[in-house]
């Protein structure tokens, strides 16, 4: 798929996004900086907030909407990945985040038809098929574990995807496509995580999205035991967003401001 107008190859997108994040956040004490191009499905589901709040701890309040906590499962197939100026090769990556209370400011991204309010999350799980990728996440304070594979269908009227964390834990989904309100959208994620010593770190992510489907109704099937026991085996009602592709830049391991 061709990049949207204004993006001349991967390096042009990387330079543009890096400039935007630097301009928005000022001087950063991040431990690592990354850029990637991916195809992505984002699965949104609602879970019981009590065990999620226990996992997050007292530093943050889990966001509750109509008695449930919003959770995202971000599934990525990324052919282009750079960390700290090093090309690390393709990766499959999975993130699971729970929404927490935070600012809802708008950090505009020039060129986007629409920029969403900033979204704030706490990391529940991070996994990657690329050992070099995992090294950068871990050294920046976010634990990352091996995953086996990711497969994303091309979005059509109906589409789906699947990934395996291990031989005894897999996820699969199906969705019915819903058209987006804008084709070229931008989003900022502030994602907090707890490192192996219990210290809280902040990962700032900014992405420009070529949206093919938005808020598409679907179902998720989980088979096996989740390592953190927060998403049990079963079938869940979800909504799905599909991006083909997205360009994202991240500063990893910042010290949160008090």
20 in a domain, yes or no? no
pLDDT at residue 14, rounded to an integer: 45
161 in a domain, yes or no? yes
22 in a domain, yes or no? no
Whichever domain contains 183, its CATH number is 2.40.400
pLDDT at residue 27, rounded to an integer: 64
For the chain, give the mean pLDDT: 90
Give the pLDDT band (50/70/90) at residue 28.
confident
12 in a domain, yes or no? no
Q: Which domain holds residue 47?
A: 40-254
For 191-209, write each residue's pLDDT tens digit: 999 988 899 999 999 999 9
Which of 211, 149, 204, 203 minimizes the C-alpha distance to 183?
211
When divided into structural domains, the chain yields a total of 1
The residue among 107 and 225 whose pLDDT is bigger is 107
Lowest mean pLDDT segment, chosen from 33-42, 104-113, 114-123:
104-113
As given in the structure block, the two tokens for residue 114 are 């629409």
78 in a domain, yes or no? yes
Q: Does the pLDDT at position 12 exceed 60?
A: no
pTM above 0.75, yes or no: yes
Integer Cα distance of 58 and 55 in angstroms: 9
The residue among 94 and 19 whose pLDDT is bigger is 94
30 in a domain, yes or no? no
153 in a domain, yes or no? yes
Give the pLDDT band (50/70/90) at residue 108.
confident
Q: Which residues contact 187 (CB under 8 A, 6 or more apart)?
A: 115, 116, 119, 206, 207, 209
213 in a domain, yes or no? yes
For 56-73, write each residue's pLDDT tens digit: 999 999 999 999 999 999
């Amino acid at each position: 798929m061709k990049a949207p107008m204004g993006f001349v190859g991967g390096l042009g997108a990387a330079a543009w996004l890096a400039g935007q994040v630097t301009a928005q956040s000022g001087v950063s004490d991040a431990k690592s900086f990354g850029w990637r191009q991916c195809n992505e499905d984002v699965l949104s589901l609602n879970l019981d907030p009590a065990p999620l709040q226990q996992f997050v701890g007292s530093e943050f309040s889990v966001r509750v909407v109509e008695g449930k906590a919003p959770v995202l499962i971000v599934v990525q197939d990324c052919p282009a990945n750079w960390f700290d100026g090093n090309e690390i090769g393709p990766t499959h990556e999975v993130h699971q985040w729970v929404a927490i209370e935070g600012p809802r400011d708008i950090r505009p991204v020039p060129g986007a038809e629409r920029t969403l309010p900033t979204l704030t999350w706490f990391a529940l799980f991070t996994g990657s098929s690329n050992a070099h990728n995992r090294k950068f996440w871990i050294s920046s304070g976010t634990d990352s574990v091996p995953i086996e594979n990711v497969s994303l269908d091309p979005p059509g009227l109906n589409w789906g995807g699947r990934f395996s964390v291990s031989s005894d834990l897999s996820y699969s989904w199906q969705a019915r496509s819903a058209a987006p309100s804008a084709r070229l959208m931008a989003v900022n994620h502030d994602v907090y995580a707890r490192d192996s010593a219990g210290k809280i770190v902040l990962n700032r992510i900014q992405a420009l999205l070529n949206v093919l489907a938005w808020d598409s109704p679907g179902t998720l099937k989980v088979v096996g035991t989740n390592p953190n026991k927060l998403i049990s085996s079963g079938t869940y009602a979800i909504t799905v967003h599909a991006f083909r592709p997205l360009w994202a830049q991240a500063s990893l391991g910042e010290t949160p401001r008090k």
